[in-house]
Chains A and B, each alone.
Chain A
Amino acid sequence: MISRRDFLQVGMAASALVGASGFGNWARLAAQQSLTQDQLLQFDTFGNVSLIHITDIHAQLKPIFFREPEINLGVGDNKGHVPHITGADFRKLYGIDDGSASAYALSYNDFTALAKTYGRMGGMDRVATVVNSIRAERPDALLLDGGDTWHGSYTCYHTQGQDVVNVMNALKPDAMTFHWEFTLGTERVRELVEGLPFAALGANIFDAEWDEPSEDFKPYQFFERGGVKIAVIGQAFPYMPIANPGWMFPEYSFGIRDQRMQEVVDEVRAEGAELVVCLSHNGFDVDKKMASRVTGIDVILTGHTHDALPEPVLIGETILIASGSNGKFVSRVDLDVREGRLMGFRHKLIPIFSDVITPDAEVAALIDEQRAPFADKLSEVIGQADTLLYRRGNFNGTWDDLICDALITEREADIAMSPGVRWGPSILPGQDITREDIHNVTSMTYGQAYRTEMTGEFLNVILEDVGDNLFNPDPYYQQGGDMVRVGGLGYRIDVSKPMGQRISDMTLLKTGEAIDPAKTYVVAGWASVNEGTEGPQIWDVVEDYIRKQGTVKVAPNTSVQVVGA
Chain B
Amino acid sequence: MDFTRRDTLALGMGAVALTVLPFRANAAADDAIAAFTGGAAMADAGVTLTAPEIAENGNTVPISVEAEGAVSIMVLAAGNPTPGVGTFTFGEMAGAHSASTRIRLAGTQDVIAIAKMADGSFAKASSNVKVTIGGCGG
Q: Are B136 and A481 in contact (CB under 8 A)?
A: yes
Contacts of B13 in A (CB 8 A): 417, 450, 452, 454, 462, 523, 525, 528, 530
Chain B residues numbered 46-69 whose CB sits less than 8 Å from any CB in chain A: 50, 52-57, 62
Q: Are B135 and A243 in contact (CB under 8 A)?
A: yes
Distance in angstroms from A245 CB to nearest chain B CB is 8
Contacts of A535 in B (CB 8 A): 1, 3, 11-12
Flag whether B133 is at the interface (Cβ < 8 A): yes
Q: Are B136 and A466 in contact (CB under 8 A)?
A: yes
Distance in angstroms from A238 CB to nearest chain B CB is 8
Q: Binary interface profile of A, 506-533, with partner B (CB < 8 Å = 1, else 0)?
A: 0000000000000000010101111011
Stretch among A128-136, A254-262, A371-379 lining the B interface? A254-262
A458-B16, A479-B54 given as contacts; is B138 within 8 A of A534 (CB)? no
Flag whether A469 is at the interface (Cβ < 8 A): yes
A421: nearest chain-B partner, CB-CB: B138
Flag whether B45 is at the interface (Cβ < 8 A): no
**Number of B interface residues in the complex (CB < 8 A):** 33
Q: Are B132 and A452 in contact (CB under 8 A)?
A: no
Flag whether B21 is at the interface (Cβ < 8 A): yes
- Give the secondary structure class of B's interface: loop
A211-B62, A534-B7, A536-B1 given as contacts; is B138 within 8 A of A466 (CB)? no
Q: Are B135 and A527 in contact (CB under 8 A)?
A: yes
Q: Are B15 and A481 in contact (CB under 8 A)?
A: no
Determine which of B52, B53, B136 lies in contact with A484 in the assembled complex, contact meaning CB atoms within 8 Å: B136
Determine which of B7, B12, B22, B62 lies in contact with A499 in the assembled complex, contact meaning CB atoms within 8 Å: B22
Q: Binary interface profile of B, 9-53, with partner A (CB < 8 Å = 1, else 0)?
A: 101111110001110000000000000000000000000001011
Instruction: Give the CA-CA distance A394 to B12 in the complex, in Å.
Output: 24
Distance in angstroms from B88 CB to nearest chain A CB is 17
A422: nearest chain-B partner, CB-CB: B138
A256: nearest chain-B partner, CB-CB: B53
B56: nearest chain-A partner, CB-CB: A241
Determine which of B21, B52, B134, B138 lies in contact with A529 in the assembled complex, contact meaning CB atoms within 8 Å: B134
Chain A residues numbered 230-275 whose CB sits less than 8 Å from any CB in chain B: 237, 239-244, 246, 253-256, 259
Q: Which one of A241, A305, A465, A477 has the highest number of Cβ atoms from chain B below 10 Å of its Cβ?
A: A465
Instruction: Give the CA-CA distance A527 to B135 in the complex, in Å.
Output: 7
Contacts of A468 in B (CB 8 A): 130, 132
Q: Are B9 and A461 in contact (CB under 8 A)?
A: no
Flag whether B137 is at the interface (Cβ < 8 A): yes
Flag whether B121 is at the interface (Cβ < 8 A): no
Flag whether A348 is at the interface (Cβ < 8 A): no
Q: Are A242 and B12 in contact (CB under 8 A)?
A: no
Contacts of B16 in A (CB 8 A): 454, 458
Instruction: Give the CA-CA distance A481 to B135 in the complex, in Å.
Output: 9
Contacts of B56 in A (CB 8 A): 208, 241-242, 246, 253-255
Flag whether A436 is at the interface (Cβ < 8 A): no
Contacts of A469 in B (CB 8 A): 132, 134, 136
Chain A residues numbered 444-459 whose CB sits less than 8 Å from any CB in chain B: 448, 450-454, 458
Q: Are B53 and A453 in contact (CB under 8 A)?
A: no
A246-B57, A528-B12, A530-B13 given as contacts; is B3 within 8 A of A419 (CB)? no
Flag whether B8 is at the interface (Cβ < 8 A): yes
Flag whether A198 is at the interface (Cβ < 8 A): no
Contacts of B7 in A (CB 8 A): 534
Flag whether B100 is at the interface (Cβ < 8 A): yes
B16: nearest chain-A partner, CB-CB: A458
A286: nearest chain-B partner, CB-CB: B53
**Number of A interface residues in the complex (CB < 8 A):** 61
A241-B56, A242-B54, A461-B21 given as contacts; is B12 within 8 A of A481 (CB)? no
- Give the secondary structure class of A's interface: loop
A498: nearest chain-B partner, CB-CB: B22
Chain A residues numbered 469-489 whose CB sits less than 8 Å from any CB in chain B: 469, 474, 476-477, 479-484
Flag whether A126 is at the interface (Cβ < 8 A): no
Contacts of A481 in B (CB 8 A): 136-138
Contacts of B15 in A (CB 8 A): 530
Distance in angstroms from B113 CB to nearest chain A CB is 15
Distance in angstroms from A501 CB to nearest chain B CB is 11
Contacts of A477 in B (CB 8 A): 53-54, 130
A451-B8, A454-B16, A530-B15 given as contacts; is B136 within 8 A of A255 (CB)? no
B60: nearest chain-A partner, CB-CB: A208
B134: nearest chain-A partner, CB-CB: A242
Chain A residues numbered 340-368 whose CB sits less than 8 Å from any CB in chain B: none
Contacts of B9 in A (CB 8 A): 452-453
Flag whether A227 is at the interface (Cβ < 8 A): no
A211-B100, A256-B53 given as contacts; is B137 within 8 A of A454 (CB)? no
Instruction: Give the CA-CA distance A417 to B14 in the complex, in Å.
Output: 13
A419-B135, A525-B12, A530-B12 given as contacts; is B53 within 8 A of A465 (CB)? no
Determine which of A448, A452, A465 lies in contact with B14 in the assembled complex, contact meaning CB atoms within 8 Å: A452
Q: Binary interface profile of A, 265-300, with partner B (CB < 8 Å = 1, else 0)?
A: 000000000000000000100000000000000000
Q: Are B136 and A450 in contact (CB under 8 A)?
A: no
Q: Are B12 and A243 in contact (CB under 8 A)?
A: no
Contacts of A65 in B (CB 8 A): none
A529: nearest chain-B partner, CB-CB: B135
A450-B12, A461-B20 given as contacts; is B57 within 8 A of A419 (CB)? no
Contacts of A536 in B (CB 8 A): 1
Instruction: Give the CA-CA distance A527 to B13 in the complex, in Å.
Output: 10
B1: nearest chain-A partner, CB-CB: A536
Contacts of B130 in A (CB 8 A): 468, 477
B9: nearest chain-A partner, CB-CB: A453
Q: Are B138 and A480 in contact (CB under 8 A)?
A: yes
Residues of B within 8 A of A (CB): 1, 3, 5, 7-9, 11-16, 20-22, 50, 52-57, 62, 100, 108, 130, 132-138
4 nearest CB pairs, A to B? A243-B137, A450-B12, A242-B134, A422-B138
Not counting A239-B54, A422-B138, a sample of 7 additional A-B residue pairs whose C-beta atoms are within 8 angstroms of each other reads A253-B62, A461-B20, A479-B137, A481-B137, A523-B13, A528-B135, A529-B135
For this complex, 20 residue pairs linking A to B, each with C-beta atoms less than 8 Å apart, are: A239-B54, A240-B137, A243-B135, A305-B138, A306-B138, A420-B138, A451-B8, A452-B8, A452-B13, A465-B20, A469-B132, A469-B134, A469-B136, A480-B137, A480-B138, A499-B108, A527-B135, A527-B136, A528-B12, A534-B7
